[in-house]
């Protein structure tokens, strides 16, 4: 992964597309647990998908910290406060993610496994929704174009 600075609009586009991919994985995981009883999907497959998802989320949060944080920091006067808030939220999310993935690993029945997957999906969907409302929007992440005299009045 390159550490070249990205334009704020590019950061926004990439983060949004990663969010859609994560939601897609969550839907697949949720569909997977509904088939636990019918023999088409095994508990091991669901568990492996959950570990893979945790790895992808770690990469995603690292991407946000490397690229979205600098863009937010410079967006307006509230930048540093928003950045502190984002880091605090990521710390909570990492802790909660570890807790839920541990629960998934240790689940000994289909019902336990299903319940943990549902909790994980709910948490991540809510986090994504809040993050997009608070940070990943055009108001905060837009490119700064030099004003043109014609429109400058």
Nearest CB to Fe ion, comparing residues 106 and 130? 130
Residue 64 interacting with Fe ion (CB under 5 A): yes
Q: How far apart are CA 135 and CA 90, in angstroms?
A: 13
Nearest CB to Fe ion, comparing residues 70 and 110? 70
Q: How far apart are CA 132 and CA 78, in angstroms?
A: 17
Please calculate the CA angle 96-46-1 and round it to the nearest 5 degrees: 65
What binding mask, one character per residue, do residues 23-42 give for Fe ion by CB under 5 A, x or -? --------------------
Task: Give me the least distance between CB of 14 and Fe ion, in Å please.
Answer: 10
**Closest alpha carbon to 60 in 121, 123, 11:** 11
Q: How far apart are CA 119 and CA 62, in angstroms?
A: 23
Size of site (CB under 5 A) for Fe ion: 2
Token pair in block for residue 11: 């950061």
Cβ atoms 32, 45 nearer than 8 A: yes
Nearest CB to Fe ion, comparing residues 42 and 80? 80
What binding mask, one character per residue, do residues 86-125 give for Fe ion by CB under 5 A, x or -? ----------------------------------------
CB neighbourhood size of 51 (10 A)? 12
Taking CB under 5 A as the binding criterion, the range among 41-49, 61-69, 73-81, 108-116 that sits at the site for Fe ion is 61-69
Nearest CB to Fe ion, comparing residues 26 and 64? 64
**Closest alpha carbon to 68 in 124, 129, 14, 119:** 14
Task: Give me the least distance between CB of 24 and Fe ion, in Å please.
Answer: 14
Residues that bind Fe ion (CB under 5 A): 64, 131
């Amino acid at each position: 992964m390159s550490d070249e600075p990205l334009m704020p609009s590019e950061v926004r586009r990439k983060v949004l597309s990663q969010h859609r991919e994560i939601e897609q994985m969550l839907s697949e995981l949720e569909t997977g647990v509904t088939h636990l009883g019918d023999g088409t999907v095994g508990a091991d497959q669901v568990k492996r998908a959950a570990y893979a998802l945790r790895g992808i989320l770690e990469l995603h949060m690292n991407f946000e910290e490397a690229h979205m944080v600098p863009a937010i920091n410079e967006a307006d006067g509230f930048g540093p406060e928003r950045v502190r808030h984002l880091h605090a939220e990521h710390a909570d999310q990492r802790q909660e993610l570890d807790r839920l993935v541990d629960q998934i690993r240790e689940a000994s029945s289909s019902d336990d496994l299903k319940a943990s997957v549902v909790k994980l999906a709910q948490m991540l969907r809510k986090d994504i929704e809040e993050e997009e409302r608070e940070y990943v929007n055009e108001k905060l992440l837009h490119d700064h174009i030099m004003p043109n005299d014609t429109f400058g009045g």
